[in-house]
Amino acid sequence: MKLLLTGNPGTEDVISAEAYEKLAAEPLEVRSMHGRVVVEADTNDYELLGEKVLELRTIHYAGILLYWSETVSPTLEWIEEAAKQALASDYIPLTASFAVKTVREGNHSFTSMDISRVIGGVIYEAVKQAGRQPIIRLNSPSILFRADLIENQLYISLSLTGDYSRHIRMYRVYDHPAALKPTLAAAMLRLAGARDGDAILDPMCGSGTVAIEAAHIYETSRIICNDINPRHVRSAKANSLIARVGNRITFYTRDATELPEVLEEPVDVIVSNPPYGIRMGSKSAVKKLYRRLAQTLPELLNRGGRVSLITPEGSYMKRLLTSNGIQVKDYRKVKHGDLWASIITGVKPE
């Protein structure tokens, strides 16, 4: 069974790797910066898949792929024919309601609502011709179909994850002003090569997203969450309690450069979202902070320890890590909301 998985553009390979690990799903399309991955799982049990995809922490959406193609110039007529080939009505049980949601990127002569209307109409007529009463319910339908039209490529899928993006975690009762998406935090942990049993540190933890994601993924790891702002640390503690992992995390309220004096021993993995200019007030303040952080990281890491940082000042941070003895292993652009940033992943030499 083919699945459509979506997530942060720039993390497609990470999503594919997690799907292979958790679902034994083989990649069919992993297009960089596309925000979408197509994989094939060796099962036709969509109820089981619906349970298993909820274990994926790097995705925003998962659906059973009913149609997947592209054309030179998309039209509503082409989309209507695609909807007929998708046979979406076969997935609607007796008396079940349905709706169609559209995600569209690019310049087209029609709107997302037009696409939903056309595909919804095809499904409506197919259900009616099958001798059943079609029920359209835009709010909380029993069955949700989704159309993704990305430039000239169309995906039609049956949602396995509902109407809300999986990056929305219910534990975030407090959001930091520049909070990291949990899906990106999970991706960065994977990029850093974190393993169960590793000591994992976020030296500038904000609302605690990295630490909480780590606690959910790695059952035996020692997890440390630090921030210089007491209000952020209190909020991170509150979020961790709601997430039911508060007892797994050690919290500190320190300047990150003081942590080598506080921690009993170095850690294996550091993952963090250090402040951007919008939070610091000036670019010079950001650069000063980054210099101090880069100088401190080698002291905090074990030999062979890994670090993954996200920042819009990617090239500058990359130079700082290199000049402080960290070997950069991966450097990539990612989309975080409306912002393009860089994830830099490096290793302290053995």
Three-class DSSP labels, 268-300: EEEEECCCCHHHHCCHHHHHHHHHHHHHHHHHH
The answer as to whether 218 is a domain residue is: yes
CA atoms within 13 A on the CB side of 344: 20
Are 277 and 128 in the same domain?
Answer: no
How far lies 183's CA from each of 61, 88, 158, 160, 174, in Å? Answer: 11, 29, 21, 17, 17
Are 209 and 147 in the same domain?
Answer: no
> Residue 277 — very low, low, confident or very high, per pLDDT cuts 50/70/90?
low
The span from the CA of 47 to the CA of 307, in Å, is 38
Are 139 and 238 in the same domain?
Answer: no
* Residue-level pLDDT at 175: 74
* Residue-level pLDDT at 11: 98
* Residue-level pLDDT at 283: 78
Are 135 and 220 in the same domain?
Answer: no
Closest C-alpha to 307, from 262, 335, 343, 339: 343
Reported as a single tens digit per residue, the pLDDT across 173-194 is: 877 777 899 999 999 999 999 9
CATH of the domain at 17: 3.30.2130.30
Are 186 and 153 in the same domain?
Answer: no
Calculate mean pLDDT across residues 134-155.
95
The answer as to whether 168 is a domain residue is: no
- 30 contact partners, CB below 8 Å, separation of at least 6: 12, 13, 16, 37
The answer as to whether 170 is a domain residue is: no
> Residue 339 — very low, low, confident or very high, per pLDDT cuts 50/70/90?
confident
- The secondary structure of residue 226, as a DSSP letter, is E
The answer as to whether 169 is a domain residue is: no
The answer as to whether 232 is a domain residue is: yes
Calculate mean pLDDT across residues 97-102.
97
Are 194 and 284 in the same domain?
Answer: yes
* Residue-level pLDDT at 141: 95
Query: Do residues 136 and 98 lie in contact, with contact meaning Cβ atoms separated by under 8 Å?
Result: yes
Strand arrangement, sheet containing 36-40? 26-30, 36-40, 2-6, 61-70, 153-159, 143-150, 97-105, 135-136
Calculate mean pLDDT across residues 166-171.
91
Count: domains in the chain: 2
* Residue-level pLDDT at 286: 87
pLDDT at residue 281 above 70?
A: no
* Residue-level pLDDT at 94: 87
Calculate mean pLDDT across residues 117-132.
95
Are 153 and 188 in the same domain?
Answer: no
Are 16 and 138 in the same domain?
Answer: yes
Are 87 and 222 in the same domain?
Answer: no
> Residue 251 — very low, low, confident or very high, per pLDDT cuts 50/70/90?
very high
Query: Do residues 167 and 58 lie in contact, with contact meaning Cβ atoms separated by under 8 Å?
Result: no
Q: Please provide the size of the chain in residues.
A: 350
* Residue-level pLDDT at 278: 52
Last residue of a domain, one of 159, 193, 225: 159
* Residue-level pLDDT at 7: 97
Supply the mean pLDDT for the chain. 94
pLDDT at residue 280 above 60?
A: no
Are 154 and 221 in the same domain?
Answer: no
Are 229 and 154 in the same domain?
Answer: no
* Domain span at 234: 182-347
Q: Model pTM?
A: 0.93
The answer as to whether 205 is a domain residue is: yes
Calculate mean pLDDT across residues 83-107.
94
Calculate mean pLDDT across residues 215-226.
97
Q: Phi and psi for 239 in degrees, rounded to 5?
A: -60, -40
Last residue of a domain, one of 159, 191, 214: 159
Q: Classify 24 as helix, strand or coil.
A: coil
> Residue 128 — very low, low, confident or very high, per pLDDT cuts 50/70/90?
very high
pLDDT at residue 95 above 90?
A: no
The answer as to whether 172 is a domain residue is: no
The answer as to whether 167 is a domain residue is: no
Are 22 and 130 in the same domain?
Answer: yes
Calculate mean pLDDT across residues 227-240.
95
Reported as a single tens digit per residue, the pLDDT across 45-88 is: 888 888 999 999 999 999 999 999 999 999 999 999 999 999 99
The span from the CA of 85 to the CA of 92, in Å, is 15
CATH of the domain at 327: 3.40.50.150
By mean pLDDT, which of 93-97, 220-224, 293-297 is the weakest? 93-97
> Residue 308 — very low, low, confident or very high, per pLDDT cuts 50/70/90?
very high
